Structure 1
Amino acid sequence: MPRLLPLLTLASALALAAPAPAPKLDTSHQIQPSPLRQKLILEYIHQHYDPSATSINITPKMIVIHWTAISSLQSTLAAFGPDVLSGRDDIQRGGKLNTGAHFLVDRDGTIYKLLDETVMARHTIGLNRIAIGIENVGSGSLTAAQLAANQALVRYLVNKYPIQYLIGHYEYGSFRTSPLWEEKDKTYFTVKSDPGAPFMAALRAGLAGQGIKLKAAP
């Protein structure tokens, strides 16, 4: 038996070091950016971040968790599908690009991949060029299935990209004095409450139990 202990220890270490398996991702609603959407993404980057930019790609350093404030999956998909923003008087002056996210988690925990995570999505003012956005269908009270799905998705993304931060949308204002913040218009800012402090506390606690600790503020 003593001779087996080093082998068991090595096996345990390898298991802990193994990359997190990809959670099941539904790609049936994935958006392949049209020429118009690509043009609008670049226009947004020019307006808010860098007038000389030529790429719509990002290097993810952060994950931002949201809720949709929309009660159903189909209504959320209908809202995110168009290339051009409609409604949303609070952010219309920010450009024509529609809001969106890289992933959408339904109430039953199903994870939909909406956009390649290295393409910029408009989901968090000032941080879009470094942030992967995860939206959760609903508002006020998200489900246990959504919590588990978010934990699995964050764990997967942390193993895939050099992610340093995990924040709720309501926390994004803490980055306004950080070098990571790119917004050129100092008056372009909205106060957010999603996805709520209790959900983020539970998400962080679950991830910490898996050995994943990410910063919440710069």
Structure 2
Amino acid sequence: MSTAPPAPPIAFDPLPYQERLDARALDAIDLVVIHCTELPDLAMARRFGEEVLYETSLTGNSGHFYIDRDGSVHQYVALDRIAHHVRGHNTRAVGIELVNRGRYPDWLAASHQAMDEAYTPAQIDALIALLRWLEVELPSLRTIAGHEDLDTTQVRATDDPDVLVRRKRDPGPLFPWDRVMAAVGLVRVP
């Protein structure tokens, strides 16, 4: 009989508005969404996560987990709360953010769509450990997707309104999908 993988070290530091996020049953979670922060560091990602964007609920946008470049895992939202991280899928999804510059600071500029920062080996090792643990903790968990797989919206580029760019491109072309998928039992949502 195989034993469940141990939980990776997780620093739990809930967002100030976590209790105002809608609650959910853990068995409602069947999807993990992989994101990149598209910000320079974890501190800035935390500040963005703390911003209140929704006046009716006094909450903002955030993933559940953040993985820094050194592989440290930080949890900002409990799994039994619905975090705002991907349109149309939040009620059933866990959001995992990898610290990475992405297209920062010109996210929607047509002239700046390259995502050329590689993820660190420590980040990917931590991600795999977290995913394996989540597979045991959340028996309904079956699928995984990138943010770019689920949000394909195009918007006018900030530097050229005649050009359309993808609103979301994360985790981006340098994310090692093959390595991650070989290490977990989840099915990728195309």
Aligned to 2:3: 18
Rounded Cα–Cα distance in structure 2 between residues aligned with 1:124 and 1:200? 21
Give the secondary-structure state (helix, strand or coil) at the position aligned to 2:74: strand
Structure 1's unaligned 5+ residue stretches are: 1-13, 43-55, 86-91, 175-189
Aligned to 1:47: none
Aligned to 1:31: 15
Rounded Cα–Cα distance in structure 2 between residues aligned with 1:62 and 1:34? 20
Offset of 1:32 from its aligned partner? 5.5
1:217 maps to a residue whose letter is V
Aligned to 1:62: 31
Give the secondary-structure state (helix, strand or coil) at the position aligned to 2:133: helix
1:110 maps to a residue whose letter is S
Aligned to 2:145: 167
2:187 maps to a residue whose letter is K
1:66 maps to a residue whose letter is H
The two structures, once aligned, show a CA RMSD in angstroms of: 2.6
Q: Are the aligned partners of 1:107 and 1:146 in contact in 2 as well (CA < 8 Å)?
A: yes
Rounded Cα–Cα distance in structure 2 between residues aligned with 1:205 and 1:112? 22
* Deviating 4+ runs (over 3 angstroms): 32-35
- Number of aligned residue pairs: 159
Offset of 1:31 from its aligned partner? 2.6
Offset of 1:79 from its aligned partner? 1.0
Aligned to 2:46: 77
Percent identity of the aligned residues?
27
Aligned to 2:128: 151
Offset of 1:96 from its aligned partner? 6.2
Structure 2's unaligned 5+ residue stretches are: 103-114, 153-165
TM-score (ref. length: structure 2):
0.74
Rounded Cα–Cα distance in structure 2 between residues aligned with 1:195 and 1:170? 7
Tell me which structure has the larger Cα radius of gyration. 1
Match of 1:133 among 76, 81, 95: 95
